[in-house]
Structure 1
């Protein structure tokens, strides 16, 4: 999962966010078209995570995905809904390749402009897979 370079300037409003969901960030938190005041990455695309699982062809795998809300550097990382999130779901591995891709989307939201600094921020999420 990765984000484009995020931009916070004097005009950027607290609550502005950037999604990592494989689509351009064209809609802002206030329902208007994304711009430098209401989005951290207007019209840019963040990449969601795709976790590739492999095993016995046709097997079922139970996958648990968890994103906790984490704050650092003036932004909060969370599920793309903006909330902590967990999901348990069964996936079937391909009958031909024995693989399946499991996707995960997130967003970062500006929570405190005074804490924003230049640099790279690392956040975590958990995925566990139980092969049956």
Structure 2
């Protein structure tokens, strides 16, 4: 997709692939099962055009993100920890204390956990499921 940048960041001890575009308030997109960042390609482009920074990672075990071997490394605590580490890297609290979160399917459940565990990092939640 035109203009969408891709990079890998280290979060929680794993390499996480992210797709991003735009400048402005951050919107974190969380994909479902079995999906990837690509699920959000149209939203990324549309919201970037409206002045937002859209960021969509491949979650732990998906796409270009590392897949740890141990099944115990896939709890909601691990996945939310990955997302908080991603926010700490890409939108540190001193620059942007709260972000918009959008979740779909399995990603909606993770988005709820993110709000539950770290309400200090979430401005608003929008879930589709």
TM-score by length of 1: 0.30
Query: Whose helix proportion is higher, 1 or 2?
Result: 2
Query: Whose strand proportion is higher, 1 or 2?
Result: 1
* Greater Cα radius of gyration, structure 1 or 2: 1
TM-score by length of 2: 0.30
